[in-house]
Structure formats: C-alpha cells, structure tokens
C-alpha cells in the first residue's frame, strides 16, 4: 500500500536524512530555465521536508538516457525558484553528504543519469544512493514510467513514501479515467503516435469523442491513403484502429517552411505535394473541435494541435486551449502542451495540469507505472 509523506509526524522527520527523487528536467536555453512549472509543482514536498527539520538530498536527471549534462549552470536559478539555498553535489562527493549537510539542509546531486547504472535500474547503485539515509521520497511523477535505479530499485533499501505531487497526479488522473464516458472528451495532438495509440484504445469505451490533431493525425491520413508530403509521421507504428468516436481534422494549415517565414495556406484534407508539410489544424477544424469541447463536462488534453512554438502554426492550439478553459473538469499535460499554454498565459486556468508527459499517457492507457508499483500504489 502506498504511503504519502504527510503520514509521518513532523517530529519523525526532524533531523532525518531524506533521499528525494525530483524532476528538474526542464527546458534550458543559454543557461537559463525557460519554463519552471515542474520545479514549482514539487516545492510543496520540499518545503514540507525542510520545514520539518529534515536534511534532504534531491536526486534528478537532465536529458534522455545516459547524459553528461550538469545542473551546475542553473543551480542558482533552481534555488531562487524554490526559495532555498542549494548546494550541488558531484557524484564523486556522494559519500561526503554528511559534511555538506552541516552547511546546508538542502542538497542536489548532479544529474543522476551521468551514471549509466541509473537507467539500468542497477541495485548496487541504488544501494550506494541509499547509504546513510533514513527515508526515500519520490515526488517526480514525470519519471514514474521509468524502470530506473532512483525510481524503482531504491525502494528496496529505504522506507519509501510518495510526495504531495504524486498524490495530486494520481488522484486527478484517476478521476479523469473514471469520469462518465458520455460527457468526456479526449483531445490528443503532438508527434508521437506510438505513445498515444494505447491511450486512444483505452478510451474507446471511456470517452464520448476523441479529437485527433497535431502530427499524430498525419498517421491516420496516411493510413487512409492520403499523401501527407514531407509531414512528420511514425512509419514504425501500425494503426490498427477504426472508430466513429475518432474525429480527425477536416482542414489543415500547409507550408513548405517550418520556420513560418513563408506563411501557410489553408487546405481541405487532400493529397499534398512531396515538399509540403501539415503544420496546424485549419480554422474549421479548430471551430468544430472547440464546439465539441465546450459541450463536455470533462476534457483531457495532451499534445498541441500543430507546431505551436512557431506563431504561424499556433492558432489551432490557441483556440483549443481557450475552449478547454471553459470546461468544468479539465486535465492537461505534456511538455509541449504546458509550454504552449504557458506562452498563452493560461497555465493557471485549468483544473489540473499534469507534470507528466509519457507518465501521464501511460497512466491514461491503463498501464502500471514501475515507479508507482515500487511505492505500492497498485497493492
């Protein structure tokens, strides 16, 4: 059975050493954090532990799989966002944390994926991480679908708890899954059809309609025999699904230039030439999708409707984002989606914004997440 960090009394945490799994894998440009939503979402757990008198070593990653990337360029900015003074701990100084705790109660181990044993879920590495600590806490929902040492194996060596963010994520996503199908709409965009297809299949009997936009729609067009030109598709994923619940775009924004400098043309869904790209849903599609969304009681949205980081191709995402705001129960998530709604100033307008991308999709697909399983969520 999963245990949450609010269960121990504060005096039980006072003076204890906590290994805290966080997710600080945020976009960084020129040494600056460009979007800090995930960091702020974990602040409640960090404040709770420090406020109780615990000494905390945070463990997080940067980059996919094994990576040499370091938190060093952003350590001061991380501290400012969290309202704490942070000390960065190189891997070579992991055995010196007791000395470092004398100077600061909050430490951050440098990118955990600098050690290849992390992604291999190496138990020896997990045992090294656990050495000298009293408790393990995981508040990094976005990595709960990863079978990694600081997520899964570590729970074998320390009494383990979930943080406040994990509690919020699982409760809100479970509510969305269990909400009545008759007034629930699933909106999917983005680029990775392989991660979205299991969600679509799981929601065929859990949603009234499933609205498909973004690059994943290109795969459906391709399966229908429509030439999508140079548009992004996932040629390795086989579409084996047909349903009248699936609503595809009826018009599209087409261009031969991803930068947006050449503008875009509005096209009905039809064959396009080899150098053209589908980069946004069209005006009629956005209007139709928005009408469907506004009639729903629950909307779950993951993935932008086009190449939304470019203003020329952001209109479809903007219109969908505004429509979802009007819904009573709105759950949105995914890194690109968060970036888009943050840019629109709408981040605080939804009932719940998930920090998870792949983890959110795995949960909504009905799959067991290794990190949650290790904490006893399914037991």
What tokens appear for 72 in the block? 């060093």
Strands lying side by side in the sheet with 246-247: 246-247, 209-212, 184-188, 298-302, 329-333, 352-354
User: Helices 164-178 and 43-51: crossing angle, nearest 10°?
Assistant: 140
- The H-assigned helical ranges of 83-162 are 97-101, 123-130
Q: Domain spans of the chain?
A: 10-166, 179-364
Q: Which stretches of the chain drop beneath a pLDDT of 50?
A: none
- Compute the chain's Rg from CA coordinates: 22
Residue 214 burial by Cβ neighbours in a 10 Å radius (0-12, 13-18, 19+)? buried
Q: What is the pLDDT of residue 269?
A: 96
What tens digit of pLDDT does each residue of 131-174 get? 999 999 999 999 999 999 999 999 999 999 999 999 999 999 99
Judge whether 213 and 193 are in contact, CB under 8 Å: no
Q: What is the pLDDT of residue 16?
A: 97
Within its chain, how far is the Cα of 340 from the centroid? Answer: 13
Give the span between the Cα atoms of 176 and 168, in whole angstroms. 12
Judge whether 227 and 272 are in contact, CB under 8 Å: yes
**Top-level class of domain 179-364:** alpha beta
What tokens appear for 324 in the block? 């979802």
Q: What is the pLDDT of residue 232?
A: 94
CA distances from 128 to 19, 123, 124, 133, 149 (A): 12, 9, 6, 10, 10
What tokens appear for 178 in the block? 């269990």
Judge whether 5 and 49 are in contact, CB under 8 Å: yes
In the chain the beta strands, taken as DSSP E runs, fall at 17-21, 28-29, 32-33, 55-59, 87-89, 106-109, 135-138, 160-162, 184-188, 209-212, 246-247, 251-255, 265-268, 277-281, 298-302, 329-333, 352-354
Q: What is the pLDDT of residue 3?
A: 97
Q: What is the pLDDT of residue 192?
A: 86
What tens digit of pLDDT does each residue of 161-209 get? 999 999 999 999 999 999 999 999 999 999 989 999 999 999 999 999 9
Domain 10-166 has CATH 3.40.50.1260: yes
Let me know if the fold of 10-166 is the same as that of 179-364: yes
Q: What is the pLDDT of residue 9?
A: 93
């Amino acid at each position: 059975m999963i245990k949450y960090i609010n269960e121990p009394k504060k005096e039980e945490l006072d003076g204890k050493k906590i290994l805290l799994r966080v997710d600080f894998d945020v976009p960084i440009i020129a040494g600056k954090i460009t979007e800090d939503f995930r960091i702020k979402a974990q602040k409640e757990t960090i404040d709770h532990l420090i406020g109780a008198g615990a000494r905390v070593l945070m463990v997080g990653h940067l980059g996919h799989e094994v990576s040499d990337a370091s938190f060093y360029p952003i350590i001061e900015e991380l501290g400012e966002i969290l309202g704490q003074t942070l000390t960065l701990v190189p891997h070579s100084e992991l055995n010196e944390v007791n000395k470092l705790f004398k100077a600061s109660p909050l430490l951050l181990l440098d990118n955990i994926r600098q050690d290849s044993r992390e992604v291999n879920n190496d138990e020896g590495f997990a045992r090294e991480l656990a050495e000298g600590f009293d408790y393990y806490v995981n508040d990094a929902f976005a990595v709960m679908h990863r079978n990694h040492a600081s997520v899964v194996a570590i729970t074998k060596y320390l009494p383990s708890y979930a943080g406040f963010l994990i509690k919020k994520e699982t409760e809100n996503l479970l509510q969305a899954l269990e909400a009545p199908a008759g007034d629930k709409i699933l909106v999917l965009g983005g680029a990775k059809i392989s991660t979205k297809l299991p969600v679509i299949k799981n929601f065929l009997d859990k949603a009234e309609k499933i609205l498909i936009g973004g690059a994943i729609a290109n795969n459906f067009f391709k399966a229908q025999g429509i030439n999508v030109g140079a548009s992004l598709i996932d040629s390795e994923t086989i579409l084996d699904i047909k349903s009248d619940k699936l609503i595809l775009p009826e018009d599209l924004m087409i261009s031969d230039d991803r930068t947006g400098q050449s503008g875009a043309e509005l096209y009905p869904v039809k064959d396009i030439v080899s150098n053209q790209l589908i980069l946004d849903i069209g005006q009629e599609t956005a209007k139709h999708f928005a009408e469907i969304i506004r009639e729903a009681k629950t909307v779950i949205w993951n993935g932008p409707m086009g190449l939304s980081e470019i203003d020329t191709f952001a209109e479809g995402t903007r219109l969908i984002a505004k429509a979802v705001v009007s819904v009573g129960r709105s759950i949105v998530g995914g890194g690109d989606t968060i970036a888009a709604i943050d840019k629109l100033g709408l981040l605080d307008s939804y009932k719940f914004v998930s920090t998870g991308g792949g983890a959110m999709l795995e949960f909504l697909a009905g799959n067991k997440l290794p990190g949650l399983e290790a904490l006893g969520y399914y037991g």
